[in-house]
Structure 1
Protein backbone atom coordinates (compact mmCIF):
# COMPACT_ATOMS: atom_id res chain seq x y z
CA UNK A 1 0.00 0.00 0.00
CA UNK A 2 2.81 2.37 0.85
CA UNK A 3 4.56 1.53 -2.44
CA UNK A 4 1.45 2.36 -4.40
CA UNK A 5 1.15 5.69 -2.60
CA UNK A 6 4.82 6.46 -3.32
CA UNK A 7 4.45 5.59 -7.01
CA UNK A 8 1.40 7.81 -7.32
CA UNK A 9 3.26 10.66 -5.63
CA UNK A 10 6.22 10.31 -7.99
CA UNK A 11 3.89 10.22 -10.99
CA UNK A 12 2.20 13.38 -9.80
CA UNK A 13 5.60 15.06 -9.37
CA UNK A 14 6.80 14.06 -12.84
CA UNK A 15 3.51 15.21 -14.34
CA UNK A 16 3.85 18.49 -12.54
CA UNK A 17 7.42 18.95 -13.78
CA UNK A 18 6.35 18.08 -17.33
CA UNK A 19 3.54 20.56 -17.18
CA UNK A 20 5.90 23.21 -15.89
CA UNK A 21 8.33 22.37 -18.68
CA UNK A 22 5.63 22.56 -21.30
CA UNK A 23 4.47 25.87 -19.88
CA UNK A 24 8.02 27.25 -20.00
CA UNK A 25 8.50 25.98 -23.56
CA UNK A 26 5.19 27.42 -24.71
CA UNK A 27 6.03 30.70 -23.03
CA UNK A 28 9.44 30.82 -24.73
CA UNK A 29 7.89 30.01 -28.08
CA UNK A 30 5.31 32.71 -27.56
CA UNK A 31 8.00 35.23 -26.70
CA UNK A 32 10.00 34.14 -29.73
CA UNK A 33 6.96 34.57 -31.95
CA UNK A 34 6.43 38.08 -30.58
CA UNK A 35 10.07 38.93 -31.24
CA UNK A 36 9.81 37.61 -34.79
CA UNK A 37 6.67 39.68 -35.35
CA UNK A 38 8.47 42.77 -34.07
CA UNK A 39 11.50 42.02 -36.22
CA UNK A 40 9.26 41.63 -39.29
CA UNK A 41 7.89 45.11 -38.73
CA UNK A 42 11.40 46.52 -38.41
CA UNK A 43 12.38 44.71 -41.60
CA UNK A 44 9.47 46.32 -43.47
CA UNK A 45 10.78 49.68 -42.30
CA UNK A 46 14.19 48.65 -43.71
CA UNK A 47 15.65 48.89 -40.21
CA UNK A 48 17.89 45.89 -40.82
CA UNK A 49 20.13 46.26 -37.77
CA UNK A 50 17.29 46.34 -35.21
CA UNK A 51 15.46 43.59 -37.07
CA UNK A 52 18.53 41.35 -36.99
CA UNK A 53 18.85 41.87 -33.22
CA UNK A 54 15.21 40.89 -32.64
CA UNK A 55 15.53 37.80 -34.83
CA UNK A 56 18.61 36.72 -32.88
CA UNK A 57 16.70 37.16 -29.58
CA UNK A 58 13.89 35.05 -31.00
CA UNK A 59 16.33 32.29 -31.93
CA UNK A 60 17.85 32.33 -28.46
CA UNK A 61 14.37 32.01 -26.91
CA UNK A 62 13.38 29.09 -29.16
CA UNK A 63 16.48 27.67 -30.87
CA UNK A 64 14.65 24.63 -32.18
CA UNK A 65 12.04 26.66 -34.00
CA UNK A 66 12.61 27.33 -37.67
CA UNK A 67 10.77 30.62 -37.83
CA UNK A 68 13.48 32.76 -36.23
CA UNK A 69 16.31 31.51 -38.41
CA UNK A 70 14.04 31.57 -41.45
CA UNK A 71 13.13 35.24 -41.06
CA UNK A 72 16.67 36.24 -40.09
CA UNK A 73 17.86 34.60 -43.30
CA UNK A 74 15.33 36.67 -45.23
CA UNK A 75 16.72 39.87 -43.73
CA UNK A 76 20.24 38.88 -44.78
CA UNK A 77 18.96 38.01 -48.25
CA UNK A 78 17.39 41.43 -48.71
CA UNK A 79 20.68 43.09 -47.69
CA UNK A 80 22.58 40.95 -50.23
CA UNK A 81 24.49 39.11 -47.50
CA UNK A 82 24.05 35.71 -49.16
CA UNK A 83 26.67 33.95 -47.03
CA UNK A 84 24.83 34.58 -43.75
CA UNK A 85 21.49 34.02 -45.46
CA UNK A 86 22.69 30.60 -46.61
CA UNK A 87 23.80 29.63 -43.10
CA UNK A 88 20.56 30.70 -41.43
CA UNK A 89 18.36 29.09 -44.12
CA UNK A 90 20.19 25.78 -43.72
CA UNK A 91 19.54 26.12 -39.97
CA UNK A 92 15.85 26.75 -40.62
CA UNK A 93 15.61 23.73 -42.95
CA UNK A 94 17.23 21.57 -40.27
CA UNK A 95 14.80 22.72 -37.55
CA UNK A 96 11.70 22.62 -39.76
CA UNK A 97 9.13 20.08 -38.59
CA UNK A 98 6.17 20.49 -40.94
CA UNK A 99 6.11 19.98 -44.69
CA UNK A 100 5.20 23.62 -45.19
CA UNK A 101 8.17 24.82 -43.14
CA UNK A 102 10.51 22.49 -45.03
CA UNK A 103 9.12 23.60 -48.39
CA UNK A 104 9.66 27.28 -47.61
CA UNK A 105 13.15 26.72 -46.21
CA UNK A 106 14.36 24.65 -49.16
CA UNK A 107 12.73 27.00 -51.66
CA UNK A 108 14.58 29.98 -50.17
CA UNK A 109 17.74 27.90 -49.96
CA UNK A 110 17.53 27.31 -53.71
CA UNK A 111 17.11 31.04 -54.37
CA UNK A 112 20.17 31.88 -52.26
CA UNK A 113 22.27 29.24 -54.01
CA UNK A 114 21.22 30.68 -57.38
CA UNK A 115 22.39 34.10 -56.24
CA UNK A 116 25.75 32.54 -55.37
CA UNK A 117 25.82 30.89 -58.84
CA UNK A 118 25.81 27.43 -57.24
CA UNK A 119 23.26 26.10 -59.72
CA UNK A 120 23.89 22.38 -59.19
CA UNK A 121 23.29 22.74 -55.44
CA UNK A 122 20.24 24.91 -56.14
CA UNK A 123 18.71 22.09 -58.21
CA UNK A 124 18.90 19.76 -55.19
CA UNK A 125 17.41 22.41 -52.90
CA UNK A 126 14.42 22.96 -55.21
CA UNK A 127 13.99 19.17 -55.48
CA UNK A 128 13.69 18.97 -51.69
CA UNK A 129 11.20 21.85 -51.74
CA UNK A 130 9.07 20.05 -54.34
CA UNK A 131 9.16 16.83 -52.33
CA UNK A 132 7.37 18.71 -49.55
CA UNK A 133 5.04 20.63 -51.87
CA UNK A 134 5.03 19.36 -55.48
CA UNK A 135 2.20 21.70 -56.52
CA UNK A 136 4.01 25.02 -55.95
CA UNK A 137 4.37 26.59 -59.40
CA UNK A 138 7.01 29.12 -58.33
CA UNK A 139 9.24 26.36 -57.01
CA UNK A 140 8.75 24.33 -60.19
CA UNK A 141 9.68 27.37 -62.30
CA UNK A 142 12.79 28.10 -60.23
CA UNK A 143 13.75 24.42 -60.41
CA UNK A 144 13.65 24.57 -64.23
CA UNK A 145 15.84 27.69 -64.24
CA UNK A 146 18.34 26.11 -61.86
CA UNK A 147 18.51 22.95 -63.96
CA UNK A 148 19.19 24.95 -67.13
CA UNK A 149 21.82 27.02 -65.32
CA UNK A 150 23.55 23.86 -64.05
CA UNK A 151 23.68 22.41 -67.57
CA UNK A 152 25.20 25.61 -68.94
CA UNK A 153 27.80 25.66 -66.19
CA UNK A 154 28.69 22.04 -66.94
CA UNK A 155 29.10 22.78 -70.67
CA UNK A 156 31.02 25.96 -69.96
CA UNK A 157 33.36 24.10 -67.64
CA UNK A 158 34.82 22.14 -70.57
CA UNK A 159 35.38 25.33 -72.54
CA UNK A 160 37.08 26.95 -69.56
CA UNK A 161 39.37 23.93 -69.20
CA UNK A 162 40.23 24.15 -72.90
CA UNK A 163 40.97 27.86 -72.56
CA UNK A 164 43.21 27.14 -69.61
CA UNK A 165 45.05 24.49 -71.63
CA UNK A 166 45.46 26.90 -74.55
CA UNK A 167 46.83 29.53 -72.17
CA UNK A 168 49.31 27.04 -70.75
CA UNK A 169 50.46 26.05 -74.25
CA UNK A 170 50.82 29.69 -75.26
CA UNK A 171 52.76 30.41 -72.08
CA UNK A 172 55.08 27.45 -72.72
CA UNK A 173 55.61 28.66 -76.28
CA UNK A 174 56.49 32.16 -75.08
CA UNK A 175 58.92 30.73 -72.54
CA UNK A 176 60.58 28.61 -75.23
CA UNK A 177 60.88 31.59 -77.58
CA UNK A 178 62.37 33.64 -74.73
CA UNK A 179 64.92 30.91 -74.07
CA UNK A 180 65.88 30.85 -77.75
CA UNK A 181 66.22 34.65 -77.81
CA UNK A 182 68.36 34.60 -74.67
CA UNK A 183 70.53 31.86 -76.14
CA UNK A 184 70.98 33.80 -79.39
CA UNK A 185 71.79 36.97 -77.46
CA UNK A 186 74.41 35.12 -75.40
CA UNK A 187 75.95 33.71 -78.59
CA UNK A 188 76.08 37.17 -80.19
CA UNK A 189 77.79 38.57 -77.11
CA UNK A 190 80.28 35.72 -77.18
CA UNK A 191 81.03 36.26 -80.88
CA UNK A 192 81.48 39.97 -80.28
CA UNK A 193 83.85 39.26 -77.39
CA UNK A 194 85.91 36.87 -79.56
CA UNK A 195 86.13 39.52 -82.26
CA UNK A 196 87.30 42.18 -79.80
CA UNK A 197 89.88 39.77 -78.43
CA UNK A 198 91.14 38.99 -81.94
CA UNK A 199 91.44 42.68 -82.78
CA UNK A 200 93.24 43.31 -79.50
CA UNK A 201 95.81 40.62 -80.30
CA UNK A 202 97.05 42.49 -83.43
CA UNK A 203 100.37 44.26 -83.10
CA UNK A 204 100.39 48.03 -83.25
CA UNK A 205 102.99 50.27 -84.88
CA UNK A 206 104.52 53.37 -83.35
CA UNK A 207 101.34 55.37 -84.22
CA UNK A 208 99.16 52.96 -82.31
CA UNK A 209 97.61 51.47 -85.49
CA UNK A 210 97.24 47.71 -86.02
CA UNK A 211 100.31 46.29 -87.72
CA UNK A 212 99.82 43.71 -90.49
CA UNK A 213 102.26 40.97 -91.31
CA UNK A 214 102.41 42.24 -94.92
CA UNK A 215 104.45 45.34 -95.64
CA UNK A 216 102.44 48.24 -97.10
CA UNK A 217 100.34 45.76 -99.02
CA UNK A 218 102.94 45.51 -101.78
CA UNK A 219 103.09 41.78 -101.59
CA UNK A 220 99.37 41.55 -102.28
CA UNK A 221 99.60 44.03 -105.17
CA UNK A 222 102.41 42.14 -106.85
CA UNK A 223 100.65 38.85 -106.30
CA UNK A 224 97.39 40.23 -107.70
CA UNK A 225 99.23 41.70 -110.67
CA UNK A 226 100.65 38.31 -111.64
CA UNK A 227 97.27 36.66 -111.35
CA UNK A 228 95.02 37.17 -114.35
CA UNK A 229 91.41 37.96 -113.56
CA UNK A 230 89.07 35.09 -114.27
CA UNK A 231 86.15 35.92 -116.56
CA UNK A 232 82.70 35.60 -115.16
CA UNK A 233 80.33 33.10 -116.76
CA UNK A 234 78.96 34.56 -120.03
CA UNK A 235 81.79 37.12 -120.34
CA UNK A 236 84.93 37.03 -122.60
CA UNK A 237 88.38 37.28 -121.17
CA UNK A 238 90.63 40.20 -122.14
CA UNK A 239 92.76 37.85 -124.24
CA UNK A 240 89.70 36.67 -126.20
CA UNK A 241 88.70 40.26 -126.89
CA UNK A 242 92.26 41.05 -128.01
CA UNK A 243 92.28 38.11 -130.43
CA UNK A 244 88.96 39.18 -131.96
CA UNK A 245 90.18 42.73 -132.48
CA UNK A 246 93.36 41.51 -134.15
CA UNK A 247 91.36 39.26 -136.47
CA UNK A 248 89.09 42.17 -137.40
CA UNK A 249 92.07 44.37 -138.17
CA UNK A 250 93.64 41.67 -140.33
CA UNK A 251 90.39 41.19 -142.25
CA UNK A 252 90.02 44.92 -142.76
CA UNK A 253 93.60 45.11 -144.02
CA UNK A 254 92.89 42.35 -146.57
CA UNK A 255 89.77 44.13 -147.79
CA UNK A 256 91.66 47.38 -148.09
CA UNK A 257 94.41 45.70 -150.13
CA UNK A 258 91.76 44.18 -152.37
CA UNK A 259 90.16 47.59 -152.91
CA UNK A 260 93.48 49.12 -153.81
CA UNK A 261 94.13 46.36 -156.29
CA UNK A 262 90.72 46.86 -157.95
CA UNK A 263 91.29 50.59 -158.13
CA UNK A 264 94.40 49.96 -160.09
CA UNK A 265 92.30 47.85 -162.53
CA UNK A 266 89.48 50.52 -162.56
CA UNK A 267 86.77 48.20 -161.36
CA UNK A 268 84.15 49.15 -158.65
CA UNK A 269 83.66 46.88 -155.62
CA UNK A 270 81.34 46.92 -152.56
CA UNK A 271 82.71 46.14 -149.18
CA UNK A 272 80.62 44.25 -146.63
CA UNK A 273 81.16 44.33 -142.98
CA UNK A 274 81.27 41.03 -141.25
CA UNK A 275 79.82 42.52 -138.11
Structure 2
Protein backbone atom coordinates (compact mmCIF):
# COMPACT_ATOMS: atom_id res chain seq x y z
CA UNK A 1 0.00 0.00 0.00
CA UNK A 2 2.81 2.37 0.92
CA UNK A 3 4.64 1.45 -2.24
CA UNK A 4 1.60 2.25 -4.31
CA UNK A 5 1.24 5.64 -2.68
CA UNK A 6 4.93 6.39 -3.29
CA UNK A 7 4.71 5.50 -6.95
CA UNK A 8 1.65 7.64 -7.38
CA UNK A 9 3.39 10.59 -5.68
CA UNK A 10 6.43 10.27 -7.91
CA UNK A 11 4.32 10.13 -11.04
CA UNK A 12 2.41 13.22 -10.04
CA UNK A 13 5.64 15.13 -9.28
CA UNK A 14 7.16 14.22 -12.64
CA UNK A 15 4.06 15.35 -14.48
CA UNK A 16 4.00 18.66 -12.59
CA UNK A 17 7.69 19.30 -13.30
CA UNK A 18 7.21 18.48 -16.97
CA UNK A 19 4.28 20.86 -17.17
CA UNK A 20 6.29 23.65 -15.50
CA UNK A 21 9.21 22.97 -17.81
CA UNK A 22 7.03 23.26 -20.89
CA UNK A 23 5.42 26.43 -19.54
CA UNK A 24 8.82 28.08 -19.01
CA UNK A 25 9.90 26.99 -22.48
CA UNK A 26 6.74 28.48 -23.99
CA UNK A 27 7.33 31.71 -22.07
CA UNK A 28 10.93 31.72 -23.24
CA UNK A 29 9.89 31.13 -26.86
CA UNK A 30 7.40 34.00 -26.69
CA UNK A 31 10.03 36.37 -25.29
CA UNK A 32 12.52 35.11 -27.89
CA UNK A 33 10.09 35.81 -30.75
CA UNK A 34 9.52 39.29 -29.32
CA UNK A 35 13.32 39.83 -29.34
CA UNK A 36 13.33 39.96 -25.54
CA UNK A 37 16.33 37.70 -25.30
CA UNK A 38 17.25 38.43 -21.69
CA UNK A 39 13.75 37.44 -20.58
CA UNK A 40 13.85 34.34 -22.74
CA UNK A 41 17.17 33.37 -21.15
CA UNK A 42 15.59 33.61 -17.70
CA UNK A 43 12.65 31.45 -18.76
CA UNK A 44 14.86 28.77 -20.31
CA UNK A 45 17.01 28.64 -17.18
CA UNK A 46 13.87 28.15 -15.10
CA UNK A 47 12.87 25.30 -17.41
CA UNK A 48 16.30 23.70 -16.92
CA UNK A 49 15.91 24.04 -13.15
CA UNK A 50 12.72 22.00 -13.41
CA UNK A 51 14.18 19.51 -15.88
CA UNK A 52 18.01 19.55 -16.08
CA UNK A 53 18.04 17.07 -18.98
CA UNK A 54 15.65 19.08 -21.15
CA UNK A 55 17.23 19.27 -24.58
CA UNK A 56 14.83 21.94 -25.85
CA UNK A 57 15.42 24.24 -22.87
CA UNK A 58 19.20 23.86 -23.07
CA UNK A 59 19.27 24.31 -26.85
CA UNK A 60 17.05 27.39 -26.74
CA UNK A 61 19.13 28.82 -23.90
CA UNK A 62 22.16 28.65 -26.18
CA UNK A 63 20.21 30.51 -28.86
CA UNK A 64 19.14 33.20 -26.36
CA UNK A 65 22.74 33.70 -25.27
CA UNK A 66 23.84 33.91 -28.90
CA UNK A 67 21.25 36.59 -29.64
CA UNK A 68 22.61 38.64 -26.74
CA UNK A 69 26.07 38.37 -28.34
CA UNK A 70 27.29 36.28 -25.43
CA UNK A 71 29.14 34.09 -27.89
CA UNK A 72 31.52 32.45 -25.43
CA UNK A 73 28.66 31.46 -23.12
CA UNK A 74 26.62 30.24 -26.07
CA UNK A 75 29.55 28.13 -27.28
CA UNK A 76 29.94 26.60 -23.83
CA UNK A 77 26.23 25.80 -23.76
CA UNK A 78 26.25 24.07 -27.16
CA UNK A 79 29.52 22.30 -26.37
CA UNK A 80 27.92 20.82 -23.25
CA UNK A 81 24.93 19.70 -25.31
CA UNK A 82 27.19 18.06 -27.89
CA UNK A 83 28.53 15.72 -25.22
CA UNK A 84 25.07 14.26 -24.61
CA UNK A 85 23.69 11.13 -26.22
CA UNK A 86 21.69 12.81 -28.98
CA UNK A 87 20.26 11.82 -32.32
CA UNK A 88 22.23 12.66 -35.45
CA UNK A 89 19.64 15.28 -36.33
CA UNK A 90 19.97 17.02 -32.96
CA UNK A 91 23.75 16.73 -33.03
CA UNK A 92 23.81 18.41 -36.43
CA UNK A 93 21.78 21.33 -35.05
CA UNK A 94 23.95 21.62 -31.96
CA UNK A 95 27.23 21.62 -33.92
CA UNK A 96 25.80 24.07 -36.44
CA UNK A 97 24.98 26.56 -33.68
CA UNK A 98 28.27 25.83 -31.96
CA UNK A 99 30.03 26.70 -35.20
CA UNK A 100 28.05 29.95 -35.43
CA UNK A 101 29.01 30.88 -31.87
CA UNK A 102 32.70 30.26 -32.53
CA UNK A 103 32.47 32.15 -35.80
CA UNK A 104 31.06 35.25 -34.13
CA UNK A 105 33.68 34.98 -31.39
CA UNK A 106 36.41 35.09 -34.06
CA UNK A 107 37.52 31.52 -33.39
CA UNK A 108 37.51 30.45 -37.02
CA UNK A 109 39.32 27.13 -36.69
CA UNK A 110 36.94 26.01 -33.93
CA UNK A 111 33.97 27.06 -36.05
CA UNK A 112 35.30 25.08 -39.02
CA UNK A 113 35.71 21.98 -36.85
CA UNK A 114 32.15 22.40 -35.54
CA UNK A 115 30.64 22.80 -39.01
CA UNK A 116 32.45 19.68 -40.16
CA UNK A 117 30.96 17.79 -37.21
CA UNK A 118 27.53 19.10 -38.16
CA UNK A 119 27.96 17.87 -41.74
CA UNK A 120 29.05 14.44 -40.51
CA UNK A 121 25.64 14.17 -38.88
CA UNK A 122 23.72 15.89 -41.69
CA UNK A 123 25.65 16.05 -44.93
CA UNK A 124 22.80 17.77 -46.80
CA UNK A 125 22.58 20.93 -44.68
CA UNK A 126 23.26 23.70 -47.20
CA UNK A 127 23.40 26.44 -44.58
CA UNK A 128 26.13 24.59 -42.70
CA UNK A 129 28.06 24.12 -45.94
CA UNK A 130 27.81 27.83 -46.69
CA UNK A 131 28.91 28.79 -43.18
CA UNK A 132 31.82 26.35 -43.41
CA UNK A 133 32.94 27.95 -46.66
CA UNK A 134 32.64 31.40 -45.11
CA UNK A 135 34.64 30.39 -42.03
CA UNK A 136 37.38 28.97 -44.25
CA UNK A 137 37.57 32.25 -46.17
CA UNK A 138 37.75 34.15 -42.91
CA UNK A 139 40.60 32.07 -41.54
CA UNK A 140 42.43 32.51 -44.85
CA UNK A 141 41.92 36.26 -44.63
CA UNK A 142 43.06 36.18 -41.02
CA UNK A 143 46.26 34.40 -42.04
CA UNK A 144 46.85 36.88 -44.85
CA UNK A 145 46.37 39.77 -42.46
CA UNK A 146 48.73 38.10 -40.01
CA UNK A 147 51.34 37.65 -42.74
CA UNK A 148 50.87 41.25 -43.88
CA UNK A 149 51.20 42.53 -40.33
CA UNK A 150 54.34 40.45 -39.87
CA UNK A 151 55.73 41.82 -43.12
CA UNK A 152 54.92 45.36 -42.01
CA UNK A 153 56.51 44.71 -38.63
CA UNK A 154 59.64 43.35 -40.28
CA UNK A 155 59.74 46.32 -42.64
CA UNK A 156 59.26 48.80 -39.81
CA UNK A 157 61.92 47.03 -37.78
CA UNK A 158 64.32 47.14 -40.72
CA UNK A 159 63.60 50.84 -41.27
CA UNK A 160 64.10 51.56 -37.59
CA UNK A 161 67.39 49.68 -37.56
CA UNK A 162 68.53 51.58 -40.65
CA UNK A 163 67.52 54.88 -39.07
CA UNK A 164 69.42 53.99 -35.92
CA UNK A 165 72.43 53.00 -38.00
CA UNK A 166 72.27 56.25 -39.99
CA UNK A 167 71.93 58.23 -36.79
CA UNK A 168 74.94 56.49 -35.25
CA UNK A 169 76.99 57.11 -38.38
CA UNK A 170 75.89 60.74 -38.43
CA UNK A 171 76.80 61.17 -34.78
CA UNK A 172 80.14 59.49 -35.40
CA UNK A 173 80.80 61.72 -38.40
CA UNK A 174 79.86 64.78 -36.39
CA UNK A 175 82.14 63.65 -33.59
CA UNK A 176 84.99 63.13 -36.06
CA UNK A 177 84.40 66.58 -37.51
CA UNK A 178 84.42 68.13 -34.06
CA UNK A 179 87.61 66.29 -33.18
CA UNK A 180 89.20 67.37 -36.47
CA UNK A 181 88.11 70.95 -35.89
CA UNK A 182 89.45 70.83 -32.36
CA UNK A 183 92.73 69.45 -33.67
CA UNK A 184 92.97 72.16 -36.32
CA UNK A 185 92.20 74.85 -33.76
CA UNK A 186 94.87 73.44 -31.48
CA UNK A 187 97.43 73.35 -34.28
CA UNK A 188 96.47 76.86 -35.31
CA UNK A 189 96.84 78.06 -31.74
CA UNK A 190 100.22 76.38 -31.44
CA UNK A 191 101.30 77.93 -34.70
CA UNK A 192 100.16 81.34 -33.53
CA UNK A 193 102.01 80.83 -30.27
CA UNK A 194 105.12 79.90 -32.21
CA UNK A 195 104.78 82.97 -34.43
CA UNK A 196 104.29 85.16 -31.41
CA UNK A 197 107.37 83.63 -29.84
CA UNK A 198 109.39 84.37 -32.97
CA UNK A 199 108.15 87.94 -33.02
CA UNK A 200 108.94 88.36 -29.34
CA UNK A 201 112.37 86.91 -29.88
CA UNK A 202 112.95 89.24 -32.81
CA UNK A 203 111.78 92.23 -30.78
CA UNK A 204 114.01 91.19 -27.92
CA UNK A 205 116.91 90.79 -30.31
CA UNK A 206 116.19 94.15 -31.89
CA UNK A 207 115.88 95.70 -28.46
CA UNK A 208 119.17 94.16 -27.39
CA UNK A 209 120.84 95.36 -30.53
CA UNK A 210 119.43 98.84 -29.99
CA UNK A 211 120.56 98.79 -26.39
CA UNK A 212 124.00 97.65 -27.45
CA UNK A 213 124.16 100.32 -30.12
CA UNK A 214 123.11 102.99 -27.67
CA UNK A 215 125.64 101.70 -25.19
CA UNK A 216 128.39 101.87 -27.81
CA UNK A 217 127.38 105.39 -28.75
CA UNK A 218 127.43 106.44 -25.11
CA UNK A 219 130.87 104.90 -24.71
CA UNK A 220 132.13 106.75 -27.76
CA UNK A 221 130.77 110.02 -26.44
CA UNK A 222 132.30 109.36 -23.08
CA UNK A 223 135.69 108.67 -24.66
CA UNK A 224 135.55 111.87 -26.64
CA UNK A 225 134.80 113.90 -23.55
CA UNK A 226 137.61 112.27 -21.69
CA UNK A 227 140.11 113.05 -24.43
CA UNK A 228 139.03 116.64 -24.47
CA UNK A 229 139.51 116.94 -20.79
CA UNK A 230 142.95 115.46 -21.05
CA UNK A 231 143.93 117.98 -23.75
CA UNK A 232 142.79 120.86 -21.62
CA UNK A 233 144.88 119.66 -18.72
CA UNK A 234 148.01 119.31 -20.86
CA UNK A 235 147.65 122.79 -22.14
TM range (shorter): 0.5 to 0.7
1:188 has 2:188 as partner: no
Matches for 1:248-263 after TM superposition, within 5 Å:
none
Determine the C-alpha separation between the residues in 2 that align with 1:129 and 1:16: 46
Q: Structure 1's 63 and 107: CA in aligned 2 closer, same or farther, altered over 3 A?
A: same
Q: Structure 1's 152 and 108: CA in aligned 2 closer, same or farther, altered over 3 A?
A: closer
Offset, 1:66: 1.9
Matches for 1:12-31 after TM superposition, within 5 Å:
13=3, 20-21=9-10, 23-31=12-20
* Paired residue secondary structure (2:32): helix
- TM-score normalised by structure 1 residue count: 0.56
Q: What residue is the counterpart of 1:46 in the other structure?
A: 35
Offset, 1:44: 1.9
For the 8 Å contact 2:24–2:43, the answer to whether it is kept is: yes
Q: What residue is the counterpart of 2:94 in the other structure?
A: 105
Q: Structure 1's 59 and 144: CA in aligned 2 closer, same or farther, altered over 3 A?
A: same
Offset, 1:71: 1.0
Greater share of residues in helix: 2
1:211 to 169, 181, 192: 192
Q: What residue is the counterpart of 1:71 in the other structure?
A: 60
Matches for 1:259-270 after TM superposition, within 5 Å:
none
Determine the C-alpha separation between the residues in 1 that align with 2:86 and 2:6: 25
Determine the C-alpha separation between the residues in 1 that align with 2:36 and 2:46: 16
Q: Deviations over 1:187-221 (max 9, x none)?
A: 413531553465367659xxxxx935336xx9xxx
Q: What residue is the counterpart of 1:142 in the other structure?
A: 128
Determine the C-alpha separation between the residues in 1 that align with 2:32 and 2:135: 31
* Paired residue secondary structure (1:214): helix
Offset, 1:37: 0.8
Q: Structure 1's 155 and 115: CA in aligned 2 closer, same or farther, altered over 3 A?
A: closer
Q: How many residues align?
A: 198
Determine the C-alpha separation between the residues in 2 that align with 1:64 and 1:34: 16
1:167 to 145, 148, 153: 153
For the 8 Å contact 1:28–1:61, the answer to whether it is kept is: yes
Determine the C-alpha separation between the residues in 1 that align with 2:99 and 2:172: 61
